[in-house]
Amino acid sequence: MQKRVFTGTVGRTMAETRYQYHTTDNNPENAPNVIYILLDDMGFAQLGCYGSSISTPNIDRLAKEGLRYNNFHTTAVCSATRTSLLTGANHHSAGCASLIELKTGAPNNLNGQLNPEYATIAEILKDYGYATFCSGKWHLTGQQCASGNTDGWPLQRGFDRYYGFLHGENDQYHPHLIRDNSRAMQPKTVEEGYHFSEDIVDNAIDYLYEHHINYPQQPFFLYLAFGAMHTPHHAPKEYIDAYKGKFDAGWDVVRQQWFENQKRMGVIPQDAELTEKNEYIRDWDSCTEKEKAVYAREMEAFAGMLTHTDAQIGRLIDYLEKSGQYDNTIIVFLSDNGASAEGGVDGRFNGMCGQDVTVRAEHEIDYAYEHLDEIGTELAFNHYPTGWANCGNTPFQWYKIWAHEGGIKDPLIIRYPAGIADTGAVRGQYHHVTDITPTILDILGVEKPEYIKGVHQQPFSGISMKYTFSHADAPSERYIQYYEVHGNRGLYKDGWKAVVNHCFVEDYAKDEWELYHVAEDYSEKYNVADKYPEKLQELKEDFMHEAGKYGVFPMLRFSMHGKPENLSRQYAEQILLPEKTIVFEHVIKPVDLVMERNIQSQSASHVITAEIVRSSKSEEGVLYSNGQRFGGISFFIKDNRLQYVYNANKKAYFKAVSETELPLGQIQVGYSFIREKDKAVVTLYINQTPAGAVEVTQFAYMIGFTATLKGNRYTPVTPDYELPFDFSGTINRIELHQFATNADPQEELRKLSSIE
């Protein structure tokens, strides 16, 4: 295809400029469409076409009609991979050191937004006349509330339309939906058959249909990013039940079976070896029958979700076929990182209870076994154990977040009939997620503009993979790539790889680097650091050079996983929170709060007061909530009494109820939450007089994604009420007061004039 040029005029509408897009030899309607399909937390081995026993016929079809890659790499974590996928740049350079919310204050994540010097493929293709659509998970902005700044949202980064959620994870049955730049309501209930994966494909098809009807000659770019396969592993019951008994043999047997399948299918080299499992994976035969039942059901839920996701991809393919667009569409399918071990040794019925890989969760098995039929439903936020994550990354070691192959080597499928003749084949050239967008531009014959939206653009970090389409045995044209997430880091260079697990070490100076000759040791099984110390030193020095070049420093100082005492929690408790007071007046209806206008109501000592007016005892509802069903707090009025509930990730509920009924008219209500080491005392107040109390002795590791005034959205924090339970009286004023971490909470409480 010849180089295209764009001769449109700034300020014209899409309809006015769409015919300005042209090639020197081809008509504009012949320009191919482009679709990126991205799955979340899916390992190298979990697709049927990559060796698993999970049914994925539609994805397998893409592989049969295109190319599979077995030496393709991501960044090991979601936001960073999405950054590199869409921009063609290394994630640190583009402004996302790890998770987009974890701001470093440095250019590698200054403010929770992507750097404008690195345009997304949507922004680039819009300059060449493409319509652009995004449906699904975004996770590329630190501002995730519809009330806040939208500079980093999809429409501001090149997309014409958007529908999905902005967070890193979400309840698949009750997601926090956004359409374009506004909050959206869920189109139907769970009882009516709602599931997020179905919803985003419905919307993607609607966008493409409307576009095709109105602008059939204009090519489109679609970014379809599923919340699957991230926890929670939610799927319709029939999909989960279809796998009943299929994983009863356990992860040791299944991993071996998948490994043998990979060799038989030619997905991995015949001389590849299966790596040993690490110490945090139990022997299946050592597990009790109760444990096996829980572990197997959690894997059944994962498999059911993957097959359900595949079915939605099939619906998109069906639409493209029926509308005559399938064979003129480049489809790129990939995962954002390796399989996740955030379910821990025992798995988790509620994934918000923690993310530590190494620790056995007390009473986890008993609770999950008692609620076995709820796994995969809206009542669970379930995640499978590390043993299944290890199986999902066959034949590699470690997982998501790690710089070992289990974290960064992922499936990649590219289907494009006009450019790929060797369909169904496997390619082994070394490539990285930064190479995808440069490949698309190479296929289209266009270049990244020098300026986009008036901002001078920086070059791609990635290179084109187009040469692999027709040259199966061509040597890799990429020879070096660094990796770094949360201090876990590595460097690939000319068939060698140096890598370090920093998550088990607090002092960077004590890191122990490993060395693998991956050109000969495909699975990264044999650490040859002692045999080739000079080579290891060379790669360590190369890492420092690449890290300096691409803005890796400063590295985030904590690990998301790690040691048995869980570094992420240690550091979270060491963060010094400031004192702050936030006042809201004339609260007329429920409204979600941006992070800057909220407090740490589940962990920091604080006081909340509200001036309310009630004319009837029937006027009740939530005054303030933070979180949802799987963890959070709620402050509400019910049965004419003031009430407070602390939901410790469904493991325990702590409830305070006022000893007396509330008077009518204008009154002041409030509560104090005073944290003291391993407990907190919550006291209710009516007109500044203590009215009830409860002691909180377990704390939530994580809570839901939204704080709300005058209501509790999405799912209820407590089973004491059903939604909607918006306060039906009047709130004249509500005040949130957070105490500084290093302050004496009792002394601060005495200072407050609102509570004596």
In the predicted model, what is the mean pLDDT of residues 426-438? 98
CA distances from 493 to 397, 519, 551 (A): 20, 10, 19
Name the average pLDDT for the chain. Answer: 92
Co-location of 519 and 446 in the same domain: no
Selection from 736, 735, 737, 731 nearest residue 586 by Cα? 731
Only one residue has tokens 């000893």, namely 659
CATH number at residue 561: 3.30.1120.10
The confidence score (pLDDT) of residue 110 equals 85
Co-location of 431 and 536 in the same domain: no
**What are φ and ψ of residue 292, in 5° steps?**
-60, -40
The confidence score (pLDDT) of residue 105 equals 85
Selection from 533, 583, 330, 535 nearest residue 442 by Cα? 330
- The answer, as to whether pTM is greater than 0.85, is yes
Q: What is the DSSP letter of 230?
A: S
Residue 743: partners with Cβ closer than 8 Å, 6 or more residues away:
579, 605
Co-location of 516 and 650 in the same domain: no
Task: Please list the residues that pair with 348 across neighbouring strands.
Answer: 383
Selection from 582, 559, 447 nearest residue 511 by Cα? 559
Alpha carbon distance 72, 84 (integer Å)? 13
CA distances from 138 to 79, 153, 224, 225, 632 (A): 8, 8, 10, 7, 24
Whether the Cβ atoms of residue 118 and residue 198 lie closer than 8 Å to each other: no
Co-location of 358 and 224 in the same domain: yes
Co-location of 220 and 303 in the same domain: yes
Identify how many contiguous H helices and E strands the chain contains and give both numbers.
Answer: 17, 32
CATH number at residue 350: 3.40.720.10
User: Following CA atoms 141, 147, 148, 151 in sequence, which dihedral angle do they give, to the nearest 10 degrees?
Assistant: 60
Alpha carbon distance 275, 233 (integer Å)? 26
pLDDT at position 13 over 60:
no
Co-location of 103 and 166 in the same domain: yes
- 10 Å CB burial of residue 230 (0-12, 13-18, 19+) is buried
* Range of lowest pLDDT (7-11, 451-455, 600-604): 7-11
Maximum separation of any 2 CA atoms in the chain, in Å = 82
Only one residue has tokens 């009882």, namely 191
Selection from 242, 260, 577, 268 nearest residue 405 by Cα? 268
Residue 92: partners with Cβ closer than 8 Å, 6 or more residues away:
108, 484, 550, 551, 552
* Residue 427 placed within a domain: yes
* Residue 10 placed within a domain: no
Which of 524, 546, 571 is the last residue before a domain boundary? 571
- End-to-end Cα distance, the chain: 77
In the predicted model, what is the mean pLDDT of residues 727-749? 91
* Residue 2 placed within a domain: no
**What are φ and ψ of residue 662, in 5° steps?**
-80, 140
* Residue 736 placed within a domain: yes
Who wins on pLDDT, 97 or 28? 97
54 alpha-carbon distance from chain centroid? 22
Instruction: Tell me the per-residue pLDDT of 315-334, one tens digit each, with 9 for 90 and over.
Output: 999 999 999 999 999 999 99
Helices 289-322 & 57-64 angle (0-180, nearest 10): 50
345 alpha-carbon distance from chain centroid? 21
3-state SS of 404-430? CHHHHECCEEEECCCCCCCCCEEECCC
The confidence score (pLDDT) of residue 551 equals 96
* Range of lowest pLDDT (184-188, 575-579, 690-694): 575-579
Tell me the pLDDT band of 4, cut-offs 50, 70 and 90.
very low
Alpha carbon distance 389, 344 (integer Å)? 10
Alpha carbon distance 347, 497 (integer Å)? 31
The confidence score (pLDDT) of residue 557 equals 62
In the predicted model, what is the mean pLDDT of residues 643-657? 96
Tell me the pLDDT band of 566, cut-offs 50, 70 and 90.
very low
Q: What is the DSSP letter of 474?
A: P
Alpha carbon distance 669, 185 (integer Å)? 31
* Range of lowest pLDDT (24-28, 115-119, 743-747): 24-28
Tell me the pLDDT band of 146, cut-offs 50, 70 and 90.
confident
143 alpha-carbon distance from chain centroid? 15
Total Cβ atoms within 10 A of residue 23: 17
Alpha carbon distance 545, 541 (integer Å)? 6
Task: Please list the residues that pair with 672 across neighbouring strands.
Answer: 607, 683
Tell me the pLDDT band of 571, cut-offs 50, 70 and 90.
very low
In the predicted model, what is the mean pLDDT of residues 575-588? 90
The confidence score (pLDDT) of residue 379 equals 97
* Residue 12 placed within a domain: no
Total Cβ atoms within 10 A of residue 723: 16
pLDDT at position 3 over 80:
no
* Residue 734 placed within a domain: yes
The confidence score (pLDDT) of residue 27 equals 41
Co-location of 455 and 487 in the same domain: no
Co-location of 79 and 210 in the same domain: yes
The confidence score (pLDDT) of residue 756 equals 44
Which amino acid, 600? Q
Selection from 69, 436, 432, 54 nearest residue 229 by Cα? 54
Tell me the pLDDT band of 744, cut-offs 50, 70 and 90.
confident
Co-location of 258 and 275 in the same domain: yes
The confidence score (pLDDT) of residue 70 equals 98
Q: Which two tokens stand for residue 474?
A: 């061509």
Alpha carbon distance 84, 76 (integer Å)? 11
In the predicted model, what is the mean pLDDT of residues 37-59? 98
Q: Which domain holds residue 618?
A: 577-751
| Count of domains forming the chain | 3
Co-location of 386 and 496 in the same domain: no
Residues 611, 614, 619, CA angle at the centre, nearest 5°?
120
* Residue 23 placed within a domain: no
Co-location of 563 and 661 in the same domain: no
Which of 420, 436, 470 is the last residue before a domain boundary? 470
CA distances from 401 to 70, 237, 551 (A): 19, 30, 19
* Residue 622 placed within a domain: yes
The confidence score (pLDDT) of residue 575 equals 61
Which of 571, 588, 603 is the last residue before a domain boundary? 571
Q: Which two tokens stand for residue 504?
A: 């088990």
Q: Are strands 33-39 and 665-676 parallel, antiparallel or unpaired?
A: unpaired
The confidence score (pLDDT) of residue 722 equals 97
CATH number at residue 640: 2.60.120.200
Selection from 204, 219, 364, 345 nearest residue 282 by Cα? 345
Alpha carbon distance 235, 230 (integer Å)? 12
Q: Which two tokens stand for residue 101?
A: 């919310």
Whether the Cβ atoms of residue 734 and residue 609 lie closer than 8 Å to each other: yes
Co-location of 293 and 308 in the same domain: yes
Which amino acid, 689? T
